[in-house]
Every structure is written in C-alpha cells, then in structure tokens.
C-alpha cells in the first residue's frame, strides 16, 4: 500500500512484448506468416511481415517522422530508455509498479493491440496469433502472479476459436479477464448473433471482457478520415469506438441476454458516459418498441448493472460522471508504459482530482477488484 490509506489496482497496464514474440511462440505451422516487431526507437510498437506494415494503415508510418519532431517524443525516448535497455522484463515492470505505487496490475498488450487488426485474416492464423501471445503473457506474469495478472487475447475471426481460447486462458493459464479491440470486424457488429457463443462462454467462466482501443487499425476505425494526423485520430478513436461498443451491449441487447457478463471500456476516458447513457435512454423511449423490443429496462440500467469504465489519472470531468452514475463503475488505469502515460506520477495526479476520499478508494481498488473478481 504505497499510497498510505489507498491500495491501487491498475486495471490496464501494458506489456511491451518482445519483437520476436510471434515467431518464437506461434505454432510452427504458422511461423512463416507471423509478424515481427519493429525496434526503430524506444516506443516502437509497429508490426511488419515481409517488409509490409501489419495491422495498421500505412499513414501511421508516414506520420511517424512528423511526430518525432515533437517534444513528447524526445521526453519518452529519455523516459523509457532505461526500461527498454533491460528488455521490458517482468522484473522491470514490477520495479516500475513500485515506483508508481501500484500494488496489483492486470496486463494488456502493446504490439498485440495490432496483431489481429488485419481484415479477412485467416481464422486459423488469428487463433494461432492469440495463443502465442497468451503463452508469452503467461510466462511474463509468472514472476509474481499475485501482482501481475493477465487479460487474454482472443481472435474475433472465428467464434469457435474465440470460445476455446477464452476457456484455455481461464482454466489453464489462470487469466483474470479477456480482451478485444472494439473495432467492427469484417462487417459484423458485436450484437450480431454470430458472437453469442462467446458471450455465453465468458458468462459461464465468470470472467470479464475488456475492450481496449489502439492507435491505428487496418480494420474500420473512427478517425480514419483524418488520415495521418495522429492527434485528430486519437481524439476521436478511443472514446467514440467505446461509445459504439456500448451501443451493441446495452441497447443492442447483449447484456439483456447475458445478465452475468461483466464488460469494461478501457483507455477511452469516462467523461462520455453521462451523455451517451442519456441519449441511449432517450432513443429507447422514442424507438425502443420497434428496434429494442427485447429490452426489459432502459439501456443505462444495463450499463450501471454490468459495465465498468476507466478514468484517466488527470480526467477532471470524472466528478460529473460520479454525479451522473455514482462511483461504483469507474476503474483506475496508468496506461504504463505508453506515450501518453503520466508515469511515474499517475496515481499522484489522480489523488489530486476533486472527488471524495471514498470515491478515490473505490476507483483505485474496490471497483477494479469487483470487475476482475478479486477479493477486496
């Protein structure tokens, strides 16, 4: 308990995967089709295969030279160099957690955020990519499994593969959650009946599902109309993709059909929540008898019953979110070690926000523990 009276559970910390993760861990039958990580600088999360970008549109690379001219680039190179030089090992991760004051963290990918963002990917390759990442993450978390907990990757290209990998991650690897990117895959929304077996399996496994966006995708993504302008794309992609996914789960009926499924919207801010819940309810009252006949309560009620959302450490509008929906559904995240992380002062920044001590305690530990099914 590095912050006095507050325990801290980071809902969304990141592994920096080794660049050879997929060529090292993947089923040998797929090794020649697996991407490798690029290592041009300390924050390089790109993947490539046969010299071509993997999982991101080419404009991301075109914008990279421009971003290197910014002050944030130079600061991050200096900030992450000591960790990169030591290989981003689990020991390095734990040391950084100690510096920040994190007691427990649930680990999400970095390069892995772009592993399955290739349209029309061979489902067999997608499943093999997910298994390889999860095997690597399992090894990574074994340094101190009571402090580093995994959120497993599952491939959206074949729902049967997704179900099988979720089952393996929970029953064999002991992961505390599963994750998906929120982007629409091959024209299917998440409330498409095709995905019902996955929601059923997660509900039966009693394991939550976290949606986590990334900067760039070859799948359809909000913000792509801004081309290579990373600033404009990033403003919209993360929160708006979360809003769209909330639509599939709340007014779209998934949570009506799966009342025990827990869902989180991570790294997309939380300040959009009051507006969206109001607008969903307004439209349900107006058109719900036509388009949402299966709902037995307002869309906002499903969110308040089953959904969680992460707050940025300096997100002052969180006070309005608490006013609107209470403080039971908000979880804390540092986003370490990504470029917009406030490490090593993320917790310190959060503690300065204008919310009550009781709300801080819930957001820093209790809510996240409830989401991941951990003991208080």
What is the structure's pLDDT at 59? 57
Statement: residue 213 has pLDDT above 60: yes
> Distance between CA atoms of 127 and 320, rounded to whole angstroms?
41
Whether the pLDDT of residue 166 is over 60: the answer is: yes
Domain assignment present for residue 342? The answer is yes
Q: Is the pLDDT of residue 293 over 70?
A: yes
In this prediction the pTM is 0.96
Helix orientation angle between 299-306 and 273-291, rounded to the nearest 10 degrees: 130
Q: Is residue 304 part of a domain?
A: yes
Q: How far apart, in whole angstroms, are the C-alpha atoms of residue 32 and residue 128? A: 12
pLDDT at 123: 98
Q: Which residue has the higher pLDDT, 218 or 290?
A: 290
| Host domain of residue 296 | 9-372
Q: How many CB atoms lie within 10 A of CB 247?
A: 18
Tens of pLDDT, residue by residue over 88-146, are 999 999 999 999 999 999 999 999 999 999 999 999 999 999 999 999 999 999 989 99
The whole-angstrom separation of Cα 275 and Cα 260 is: 25
pLDDT > 90: what percent of the chain?
87
Nearest residue to 154 (alpha-carbon basis) of 193, 205, 104: 205
State the chain's mean pLDDT as an integer. 94
The answer to whether position 159 is within a domain reads: yes
The Cα–Cα gap between 230 and 100 comes to 28
Q: Is residue 3 part of a domain?
A: no
As for how many domains the chain has, the answer is 1
- Is residue 4 in a domain? no
What mean pLDDT do residues 339-359 have? Answer: 96
How long is the chain?
Answer: 376
pLDDT of amino acid 61: 59
Query: Which pLDDT score, from 0 to 100, does residue 2 have?
Result: 58
Cβ atoms of 104 and 13 within 8 Å: the answer is no
The predicted-structure confidence for 139-162, as pLDDT tens digits, reads as follows: 999 989 999 999 999 999 999 999
Instruction: Tell me whether residue 368 is in a domain.
Output: yes
> What distance, in Å, lies between the first and last C-alpha atoms of the chain?
13
Whether 1 is in a domain gets the answer no
Q: 295-339, pLDDT tens digit by residue?
A: 999 999 999 999 999 999 999 999 999 999 999 999 999 999 998
CATH assignment at residue 162: 3.20.20.140
Q: Is residue 2 part of a domain?
A: no
Give residues with Cβ within 8 angstroms of 338, minimum separation 6.
Answer: 14, 43, 110
- Write out pLDDT tens, residues 59-68: 555 666 777 7
The DSSP code sequence of 86-140 is TTT-HHHHHHHHHHHT-SEEEEE-SGGGGTT-STT--HHHHHHHHHHHHHHHHHH
With a cut of 60, say whether residue 39 has pLDDT above it: yes
Mean pLDDT of 191-208: 98
| Mean pLDDT lowest among 188-197, 215-224, 341-350 | 215-224
Residue 62: the pLDDT is: 60
């Amino acid at each position: 308990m590095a912050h006095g009276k507050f325990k801290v559970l980071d809902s969304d910390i990141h592994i920096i995967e080794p660049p050879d993760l997929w060529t090292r861990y993947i089923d040998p039958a797929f090794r020649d089709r697996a991407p490798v990580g690029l290592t041009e600088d300390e924050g390089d999360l790109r993947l490539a295969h046969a010299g071509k970008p993997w999982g991101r549109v080419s404009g991301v690379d075109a914008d990279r030279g421009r971003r290197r001219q910014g002050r944030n680039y130079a600061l991050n190179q200096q900030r992450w160099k000591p960790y990169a030089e030591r290989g981003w090992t689990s020991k390095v991760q734990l040391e950084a957690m100690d510096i920040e004051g994190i007691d427990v963290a649930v680990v999400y990918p970095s390069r892995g955020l772009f592993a399955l963002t290739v349209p029309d990917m061979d489902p067999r390759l997608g499943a093999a990519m997910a298994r390889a990442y999860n095997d690597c993450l399992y090894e990574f978390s074994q340094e101190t499994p009571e402090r580093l907990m995994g959120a497993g990757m599952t491939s959206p290209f074949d729902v049967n593969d997704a179900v099988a990998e979720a089952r393996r991650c929970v029953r064999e690897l002991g992961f505390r959650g599963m994750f998906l990117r929120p982007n629409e895959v091959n024209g299917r929304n998440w409330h498409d009946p095709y995905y019902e077996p996955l929601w059923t399996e997660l509900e039966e496994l009693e394991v939550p599902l976290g949606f986590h966006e990334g900067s760039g995708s070859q799948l359809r993504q909000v913000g792509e109309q801004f081309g290579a302008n990373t600033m404009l794309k990033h403003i919209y992609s993360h929160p708006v993709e979360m809003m769209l996914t909330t639509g599939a789960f709340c007014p779209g009926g998934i949570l009506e059909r799966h009342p025990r499924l827990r869902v989180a919207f991570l790294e997309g801010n939380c300040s959009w929540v009051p507006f969206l819940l109001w607008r969903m309810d307004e439209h349900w009252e107006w058109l719900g008898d036509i388009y949402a006949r299966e709902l037995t309560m307002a869309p906002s009620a499903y969110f308040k019953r089953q959904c969680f959302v992460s707050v940025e450490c300096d997100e002052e509008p969180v006070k309005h979110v608490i006013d609107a929906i209470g403080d039971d559904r908000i979880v804390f995240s540092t986003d370490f070690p990504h470029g917009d992380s406030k490490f090593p002062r993320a917790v310190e920044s959060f503690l300065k926000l204008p919310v009550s001590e009781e709300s801080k305690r819930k957001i820093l530990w209790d809510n996240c523990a409830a989401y991941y099914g951990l003991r208080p």
